[in-house]
Structure 1
Amino acid sequence: MGNPKSMSTAKKARNTAERLAGQAKQKIGRATGDSRLRNEGRVDEAKARVKMSGERLKDAFKGR
């Protein structure tokens, strides 16, 4: 299938991209006065941060 470490790296990259997209939504929402978009960005960013924490926890248990 592939290297398990690269799989984790791909997940981390995806989570970082999701976090940055959430931050962008927040900024666009603030700039346009769209509170729905701003709040959606906050939720997206929080979800990505939780996923990133999970990946870090897995890595800690695997000894990376």
Structure 2
Amino acid sequence: MAFMRAVEFWYWMMKNSRGVRRKSPCRFMAEDAFLADPEATRIPGTCEVRTLPETPEEFGELHTSAFFKT
């Protein structure tokens, strides 16, 4: 099995569409959070580390369903 990258996902304090700072509705990677709100801040204790595939081969190893093997 190949090595996959570990990626941190956090809940963030970010501005909503009305400009009010609120907890994000889901966890985001830092890059995505800062795209949505450059002043976003992580909420301590909410980190979730996910192991994500980097190559098509790694993706195939994770998904054994025939649906993904096409």
TM-score class, shorter-chain normalisation, is under 0.3
Q: Greater share of helix residues, 1 or 2?
A: 1
Looking at CA atoms only, which structure, 1 or 2, has the larger radius of gyration? Answer: 2
Q: Greater share of strand residues, 1 or 2?
A: 2
TM-score by length of 2: 0.25
Greater relative CO (CA pairs within 8 A, separation 6+): 2
TM-score by length of 1: 0.26
